[in-house]
């Protein structure tokens, strides 16, 4: 029976807007998601994160559920607007106290806190007054916000993630407009991404220069799905590689290599912003680990001039810039998100990252699946989710055995929550939450995950 290393990090993850609720409590300011959810037609059934899982009031109870599961680490995000209601200026001490209490409660339960500084819920004032991630002032605002968090929580939190899934912020928020702030453009995503990368780097330097005495680590989390060539043709192999570079190398290459991928510079021309020499130096090396959110795999093929309306925006970049068609193998099983369950794609992606970026420490900061859970006598028949976790953990084991420096795994998500544009319809949680009564109910996957991490084995 294969086992994970003794020091392997086992955890679950959430984000502030998806679970906290308390959207206007104790001085918190509005975020772009608070506003976006009020626009008719944007969110399934018009649902919001106003209450969500009520974690703001029930975090102690939630942390006890984590303790019962035996998780050793918990990745959560801080709501920027709860700390700085307008994104800048006066600190909201009630917000500071909330997160301080969460951290203390986690440490009391012997759970290591992993803080994500930004998981998409930008303070609304920064969007309205400074153009959000399109405006250059956001770089300094983010660094100033990060400094406050380092000052207030850094003595107890040693693990930091600056940004979660910048690709989603750029493409879904500023390209397709299906996520907040809801803009549609074929150029704004590249400008937003540029500022996200610079903001990340500036925050990391703030930490390294002024808070290194805490002995912590800091990095960025990027999302990436594996791209498997549709055929063995050189064109399809090149398309798959190009798709990966437009997806994750867009954000990782500047950090690990000092600039954007050549293929992006060649194809985008003036639409891709340029880093100055000083900025390249500032950005390069600003990650102590490679944070990876991974969920699925798609087939990639060269587009030979055949327009596909449904593929105007590909999952991994703007497809007219990539010239890549994406599809699924009909034999692959899919989740409720229509994401294919392809564990070997996870192994291949881990190897690809290790090869391109000189075998860095990798932490899977999200991996999970959504299925149509039904509660029966206080339990969920959760076999599909159990199979998903078991096979993906086996894929992780394989990569480790083959030399990939995978150091940790966070299951998405700790409990069912507000799943962005899908509202509460798509359930990813290890714990089931009845949103009418806000009653927590364990499901079998929570118990299985507890057994798996206690034995450090995917073969439970």
SS3 136: coil
From 47, 105, 228, 366, active-site residue: 366
Please say if 20 is a catalytic residue. Answer: no
Rounded to the nearest angstrom, the gap between the alpha carbon of residue 432 and the centroid of all alpha carbons in its chain is 21
* Cα(145)–Cα(135) distance, integer angstroms: 16
Max Cα distance, the chain (Å): 62
**Angle separating helix axes 137-153 and 188-210, nearest 10 degrees:** 40
Q: In DSSP terms, which residues pair with 165 in a beta bridge?
A: none
From 105, 165, 279, 419, active-site residue: 165
Please say if 234 is a catalytic residue. Answer: no
**Angle separating helix axes 444-455 and 55-69, nearest 10 degrees:** 50
Taking alpha carbons only, the member of 66, 62, 154 closest to residue 117 is 154
Residue 400 · residue 406 · CB < 8 Å:
yes
SS3 11: strand
* Cα(362)–Cα(354) distance, integer angstroms: 8
* Cα(35)–Cα(30) distance, integer angstroms: 7
* Cα(389)–Cα(445) distance, integer angstroms: 9
Residue 338 · residue 297 · CB < 8 Å:
no
Residue 20 tokens, joined:
């906290």
**What secondary structure, in 3-state letters, does 345-411 show?**
HHHHHHHHHHHHCCCCCEEEEEECCCCCCCEECCEECCHHHHHHHHHHHHHHHHHHHCCCCEEEEEE
SS3 334: strand
| Residues marked as catalytic | 165, 366
């Amino acid at each position: 029976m294969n086992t994970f290393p003794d020091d392997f990090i086992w955890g679950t993850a959430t984000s502030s807007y998806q679970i906290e609720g308390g959207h206007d409590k104790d001085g918190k300011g509005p975020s772009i998601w608070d506003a976006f959810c009020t626009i008719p037609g944007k969110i399934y059934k018009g649902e919001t994160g106003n209450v969500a899982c009520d974690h703001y009031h029930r975090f102690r109870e939630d942390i006890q559920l984590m303790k019962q599961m035996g998780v050793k680490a918990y990745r959560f995000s801080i709501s920027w607007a709860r700390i700085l209601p307008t994104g800048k200026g006066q600190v909201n001490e009630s917000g500071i106290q909330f997160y301080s209490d969460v951290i203390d409660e986690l440490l009391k339960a012997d759970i290591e806190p992993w803080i994500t500084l930004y998981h998409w819920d930008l303070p609304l004032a920064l969007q309205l007054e400074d153009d959000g991630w399109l405006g250059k002032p956001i770089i300094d605002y983010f660094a100033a916000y990060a400094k406050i968090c380092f000052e207030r929580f850094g003595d107890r939190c040693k693990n930091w993630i600056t940004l979660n899934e910048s690709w989603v912020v750029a493409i879904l928020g500023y390209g397709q407009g299906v996520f907040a702030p809801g803009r549609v453009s074929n150029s704004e995503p590249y400008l937003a991404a540029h500022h996200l990368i610079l903001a990340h780097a500036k925050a990391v330097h703030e930490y390294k220069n002024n808070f290194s005495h805490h002995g912590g680590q800091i990095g960025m989390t990027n999302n990436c799905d594996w791209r498997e060539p549709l055929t063995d043709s050189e064109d399809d192999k090149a398309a798959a590689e190009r798709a990966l570079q437009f997806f994750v190398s867009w954000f990782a290459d500047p950090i690990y290599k000092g600039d954007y991928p050549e293929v992006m510079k060649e194809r985008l021309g003036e639409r891709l912003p340029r880093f100055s020499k000083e900025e390249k130096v500032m950005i390069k090396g600003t990650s102590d680990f490679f944070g990876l959110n991974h969920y699925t795999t798609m087939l990639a093929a060269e587009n030979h001039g055949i327009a596909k309306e449904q593929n105007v925006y590909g999952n991994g970049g703007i497809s007219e810039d990539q010239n890549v068609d994406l599809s699924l193998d009909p034999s692959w099983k899919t989740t409720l998100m229509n994401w294919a369950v392809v564990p070997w794609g996870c192994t291949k992606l881990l190897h690809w990252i290790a090869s391109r970026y000189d075998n860095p420490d990798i932490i899977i900061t999200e991996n999970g699946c959504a299925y149509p859970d039904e509660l029966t006598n206080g339990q969920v028949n959760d076999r599909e989710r159990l199979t998903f976790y078991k096979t993906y953990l086996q894929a992780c084991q394989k990569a480790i055995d083959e030399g990939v420096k995978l150091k940790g795994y966070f299951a998405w998500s700790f409990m069912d929550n507000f799943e962005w544009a899908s509202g509460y319809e798509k359930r990813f949680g290890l714990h089931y939450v009845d949103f009418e009564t806000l009653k927590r109910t364990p499901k079998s996957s929570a118990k299985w995950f507890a057994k798996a991490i206690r034995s450090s084995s995917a073969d439970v």
